[in-house]
Amino acid sequence: MRRSVAVIAMLCLVALQTGCGLLPEVKDETIDWSANRLYTEAKESLNSGDYTNAIKYFEKLESRYPYGRYAQQAQLEMAYAYWKSQEIPQAIAACDRFIKLHPNHERLDYVYYLKGLINFNEDLGLLSSISQQDMTERDPKGARESFDAFKELVTRFPNSKYTPDATLRMKYLVNALAKLEVHVARYYMKRGAYLAAANRAQYAIQNYPNTPMIEEALYITILAYEQLGMKDLRDDAERVMRQNYPNSRFYTQGLQYKDPWWKLW
């Protein structure tokens, strides 16, 4: 019986191998393409919105012709293609790789802008999903990385054509991050975690000093220190708030008052 089973298994294996040999071999149509043709085909796919084929051609181009201007251009275009095909980690990795390989490239400003834009759009829901998700659960990592990329662009390439837009986006991100910190501080206040509330409010004050959220952050600091019995710190915070916001609505409305979530400017 065992011998029969072994013979059957052997015959099945032979049949499978024979069958595989009968399958037509898939030929790579690009095998004889030049670097110029690969780039042209990739670029046409990219312009037509066929990002899958664009990525495929760019990857083949870089693999077969790793040196020269076509390889550099492929690396540059691939980051954009990954982004448009919603492959966000690959897009950011492609940007980082290009920056590392070509620190003096003439289009480095574009790569920093693209990296900032990828993270910016990825985290655009930082505030817009407030009605669907508690903001205390949000990870602002993408917003911070977006800000860092834009900051690098603005600092290193002040005359770049991308700098004005990057500057505006940085302002949005700073206000968004400040609002997130204050929202978390308010969350802790409601739950009686006064030390945590004070720490988050102070973080917003120290890191985002010129944003509209400082008014509420100062008010939360006053309330938290009052609850903690830290009279000196409370008095210091109140003195600063009275000096900068003498007619603050928080004096009469308390934490019941808050700006709409979309008011970032």
- pLDDT, average across residues 257-263: 46
Whether residue 219 has pLDDT greater than 50: yes
How much is the pLDDT for 254?
Answer: 82
Question: Three-class SS string for the chain?
Answer: CHHHHHHHHHHHHHHHHHHHHHCCCCCCCCCCCCHHHHHHHHHHHHHCCCHHHHHHHHHHHHHHCCCCHHHHHHHHHHHHHHHHCCCHHHHHHHHHHHHHHCCCCCCHHHHHHHHHHHHHHHCCHHHHCCCCCCHHHCCCHHHHHHHHHHHHHHHHCCCCCCHHHHHHHHHHHHHHHHHHHHHHHHHHHHCCCHHHHHHHHHHHHHHCCCCCCHHHHHHHHHHHHHHHCCHHHHHHHHHHHHHHCCCCCHHHHHHHCCCCCCCCC
State the pLDDT confidence band at 31, using cuts at 50, 70 and 90.
Answer: confident
How much is the pLDDT for 265?
Answer: 40
How much is the pLDDT for 263?
Answer: 46
Place of tokens 């085909």: 41
> Quick one: what percent of the chain has pLDDT higher than 70?
80
How much is the pLDDT for 14?
Answer: 53
**Do 133 and 142 form a contact (C-beta atoms < 8 A)?**
no
What contacts 19, CB < 8 A, 6 or more positions away? Answer: none
pLDDT tens-digit profile of 175-189? Answer: 989 999 999 999 999
Question: Regarding predicted confidence, which is higher, 82 or 5?
Answer: 82
Q: What residues does each domain of the chain span?
A: 34-85
- pLDDT, average across residues 97-121: 94
> Quick one: what percent of the chain has pLDDT higher than 90?
68
- pLDDT, average across residues 46-62: 94
How much is the pLDDT for 18?
Answer: 52
Phi, psi dihedrals of residue 33, rounded to the nearest 5°: -75, 145
State the pLDDT confidence band at 52, using cuts at 50, 70 and 90.
Answer: very high
- pLDDT, average across residues 9-23: 53
Question: Regarding predicted confidence, which is higher, 151 or 138?
Answer: 151
How much is the pLDDT for 86?
Answer: 92
What contacts 149, CB < 8 A, 6 or more positions away? Answer: 112, 113, 115, 116, 119
How much is the pLDDT for 167?
Answer: 96
Tell me how far the alpha carbon of residue 14 is from its chain's centroid.
Answer: 52
Question: Regarding predicted confidence, which is higher, 114 or 17?
Answer: 114
> Whole-number mean pLDDT of the chain?
85
**Do 100 and 85 form a contact (C-beta atoms < 8 A)?**
no
Whether residue 144 has pLDDT greater than 80: yes
Tell me how far the alpha carbon of residue 176 is from its chain's centroid.
Answer: 14
State the pLDDT confidence band at 160, using cuts at 50, 70 and 90.
Answer: very high
How much is the pLDDT for 126?
Answer: 46
Q: State how far the Cα of 237 lies from the Cα of 221, in Å rounded to an integer.
A: 7
Question: Regarding predicted confidence, which is higher, 252 or 112?
Answer: 112
Hey, how many other C-beta atoms are within 10 angstroms of the C-beta on 264?
Answer: 19
How much is the pLDDT for 211?
Answer: 92
